[in-house]
């Protein structure tokens, strides 16, 4: 079943992508939730026209995303946390904790666009994460998990 996505769907595609999914997933989840519409020939023509009209705006958004990426690369992020012997953390560090640190540094992101490499972090050290600022701009940042001073 071919569908046109109306919103970004994690692990499937971005808004206005034409994707092929299993019939049940499309019919029972994507279409009723309003995430997609059927990709008929007329809807594909409308989509092509909309994309053509939106290209100029997209270029502006990409330029802004690249500027944010440059600022992020200059940023040094340290996440303080409690830990036990051997550098093992009490709990774990995830994209939510990284998003909180970025918010404290003056960047406002949705936690869903941040992916920490390896999932949850359970030890002190240096790690990296990717931030999808735009469909075409994915930035990798590095951060350090350090022992808190408490």
Contact indicator for 59, 93 with CB cutoff of 8 Å: no
Task: Enumerate the domain spans of the chain.
Answer: 2-62, 67-147
User: Has residue 50 got a pLDDT over 90?
Assistant: no
For residue range 73-83, what is the model confidence (pLDDT) as tens digits? Answer: 888 889 999 98
Q: Distance between CA atoms of 48 and 146, rounded to whole angstroms?
A: 49
User: Has residue 149 got a pLDDT over 80?
Assistant: no
- Per-residue pLDDT, 150: 64
Say which residue, 10 or 131, is predicted with more confidence: 131
The architecture in CATH of the region 2-62 reads 3-Layer(aba) Sandwich (3.40)
User: Has residue 117 got a pLDDT over 90?
Assistant: no
For residue range 15-24, what is the model confidence (pLDDT) as tens digits? Answer: 888 999 999 9
Fold agreement (2-62, 67-147): no
Q: Distance between CA atoms of 14 and 78, rounded to whole angstroms?
A: 31
Could you tell me what percent of the chain has a pLDDT over 70?
Answer: 99
The residue assigned the tokens 């490499």 is: 117
| CATH class of the domain at 67-147 | alpha beta
């Amino acid at each position: 079943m071919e569908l046109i996505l109306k919103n970004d769907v994690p692990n499937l595609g971005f808004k206005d992508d034409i994707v092929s999914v299993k019939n049940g997933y499309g019919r029972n989840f994507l279409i009723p939730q309003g995430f997609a519409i059927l990709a008929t020939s007329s809807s594909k023509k409308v989509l092509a026209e909309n994309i053509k009209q939106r290209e100029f705006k997209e270029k502006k958004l990409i330029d802004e995303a690249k500027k944010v990426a440059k600022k992020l690369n200059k940023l040094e992020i340290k996440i303080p946390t409690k830990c036990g012997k051997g550098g093992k953390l009490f709990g774990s560090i995830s994209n939510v904790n990284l998003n909180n640190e970025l918010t404290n540094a003056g960047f406002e992101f949705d936690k869903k666009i941040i992916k920490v490499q390896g999932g949850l972090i359970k030890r002190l050290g240096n790690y990296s994460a990717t931030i999808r600022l735009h469909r075409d701009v994915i930035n990798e940042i590095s951060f350090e998990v350090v022992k808190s001073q408490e």
